[in-house]
Amino acid sequence: MKGWLDRSLIVGPYLTLCLSEVEFRRAMKRCTVAVADQPAWIRNDQSDATVHWLTNPKGCLVCIVCVRPRADTTGIQVAAMLVHEAVHIWQRFLLDIGEDQPSAEFEAYSIQAISQRLMEAYAERTS
């Protein structure tokens, strides 16, 4: 885990990308989650990506996106996974702010921004 990504989506959640279980455990520790309470970094063996939502000690929403790198996964597949997880982040963010009817443009630009941040972090970390 290199660091927390820009969260300028309005005042969006903290966002980070973990490409290993070690990075995920570090993020959990930083959010003061007891080892016994930590979930699996990837939900199951069939999944290659998972997003976890937490509340940090200051009461802010934290989204930890975990991607299991595989040698046979293409760049397009990685991008699609990151967009998929970005949609889940967007959905959770709406719940947190109590928004149930966002405009189509607000939704599209928000998912684009979240996806772009995740893709930039992935590209920076894997190149």
Residue-number span of the structural domain to which 52 is assigned: 14-126
This prediction has a pTM of 0.87
Residue-wise pLDDT for 9-43, tens only, equals 566 788 999 999 999 999 999 888 899 999 999 99
Residue 108 in any domain: the answer is: yes
48 and 67 in contact (C-beta within 8 Å)? Answer: yes
CA distance 60 to 54: 8
Residue 3 in any domain: the answer is: no
Residue 5 in any domain: the answer is: no
The count of domains in the chain is 1
Residue-wise pLDDT for 60-94, tens only, equals 889 999 999 889 999 999 999 999 999 999 999 99
How many other C-beta atoms lie within 10 A of the C-beta of residue 33? 19
Residue 75 in any domain: the answer is: yes
Residue 1 in any domain: the answer is: no
Residue 115 in any domain: the answer is: yes
* Residues 77, 78, 80, 81, CA torsion sign: positive
Tokens of 106: 């607000």
Residue 26 in any domain: the answer is: yes
Residue 90 in any domain: the answer is: yes
